[in-house]
Amino acid sequence: MSEVRLQNISKSFGGHTVLPDLNLTVPDGSFTVLVGPSGCGKSTLLRIISGLEEPTSGAVMIGGHDVTLDEPSKRGISMVFQSYALYPHMTVAQNIDFGLRLAKMPAAERKSRVAEAARILALEPYLDRKPAQLSGGQRQRVAIGRSIVRQPKVFLFDEPLSNLDAALRTQMRVELAQLHQSLDATMIYVTHDQVEAMTLADQIVVMNAGRIEQVGAPMELYDRPQTVFVAGFIGSPK
Ligand code: ADP
Ligand code: MG
């Protein structure tokens, strides 16, 4: 059970309020996509869910537990960024294994988890390569592999494909949908790519200036936008 529930979340930086009062339920096992203009607070929201940022007020609930004061590592969450910071001197296998090694997990368990992640992400032929010997898409898969091995209940993605070219983005989109099916995890995914949002999401959350404009299934937003902003945002080409 890994429903994510945000209750009356607010966030200010100095005197500047980025999120005034946000309520959102992300259903267990859903693929929820957050969209909205640059600067509207999407990354801040992900950072609050992951625990990298503390909300000014409000509560973050995961699986019915209040985790607002919990360390990021205690939340069962993993975050994948657009700039996949791999260790250049380590092999793919070592990169994927790194977090498990830090956590002092027994070697046999680590080995089987790395093998499983490599299988799911089709990285088996590349395990002994260094990041510099990989394509952009392969590197992004390694970054996702580092998340998978930790077996999080919730994955957070912050525009993970925005550095990839169009063809690779299309391929990775298919792979992310398969990943969601095979892992049975809750995914919260930020993108400004409408096609990505429409094809990946069970539920799309449209944000504007720190507020939620509308939440709904892709076709629902497309057919019945409740505000002019949603109509413009969902309907307009990228
Ligand atoms: P998005 O991801 O939707 O583009 P962000 O969440 O990154 O938006 O930023 C929302 C707003 O919060 C922006 O105005 C940004 O400048 C501000 N902001 C984000 N992080 C900080 C910070 N650490 N200090 C001050 N302002 C911040
Ligand atoms: Mg952002």
| Cβ atoms of 139 and 84 closer than 8 Å | yes
Provide the CB-side half-sphere exposure for 53 (13 A, CA): 21
pLDDT of residue 238: 47
pLDDT of residue 85: 80
Decide: 43 in ligand 1 pocket, CB within 6 A. yes
Say what the pTM is. Answer: 0.91
Q: Which of 43, 45, 50 gets mutated to test ligand 1 (max ligand atoms within 8 A of its CB)?
A: 43
Dihedrals phi, psi of 194, to nearest 5 degrees: -60, -40
Query: pLDDT digits over 165-174, tens only?
Result: 888 888 888 8
Ligand 1 atom nearest 16 alpha carbon: 26
Decide: 87 in ligand 1 pocket, CB within 6 A. no
- Residue ranges of alpha helices (H) inside 24-165 are 42-50, 92-102, 107-120, 136-148
pLDDT of residue 221: 94
Distance 91 CA to ligand 2 centre (A): 29
The DSSP code for 51 is T
> Could you say which residues of the chain have pLDDT below 70?
82-84, 236-238
From the centroid of its chain, how far is CA 121?
16
Residue of minimum CA distance from atom 12 in ligand 1: 18
Decide: 13 in ligand 1 pocket, CB within 6 A. yes
Ligand 1 atom nearest 13 alpha carbon: 25
Dihedrals phi, psi of 9, to nearest 5 degrees: -75, 125
**Alpha carbon distance 203, 160 (integer Å):** 18
Ligand 1 atom nearest 11 alpha carbon: 12
Decide: 147 in ligand 1 pocket, CB within 6 A. no
**Alpha carbon distance 65, 59 (integer Å):** 10
Contact residues for 80 (Cβ-Cβ < 8 A; gap 6+)? 143, 144, 147, 155, 156, 157, 158, 160
Distance 37 CA to ligand 1 centre (A): 12
| Cβ atoms of 223 and 217 closer than 8 Å | no
Q: How far is CA 123 from CA 13, 84, 183, in A?
A: 41, 16, 17
Residues within 5 A (CB) of ion ligand 2: 43
Distance 88 CA to ligand 2 centre (A): 25
pLDDT of residue 166: 85
Residue of minimum CA distance from atom 24 in ligand 1: 13
* Triad 89, 93, 97: Cα angle to 5°: 95
pLDDT of residue 232: 87
pLDDT of residue 77: 93
Dihedrals phi, psi of 202, to nearest 5 degrees: -80, -35
List the beta bridge partners of residue 85: none
Query: pLDDT digits over 163-220, tens only?
Result: 788 888 888 888 889 889 988 899 999 998 888 999 999 999 999 999 999 999 999 9
**Alpha carbon distance 84, 161 (integer Å):** 10
> The complex's ipTM?
0.98
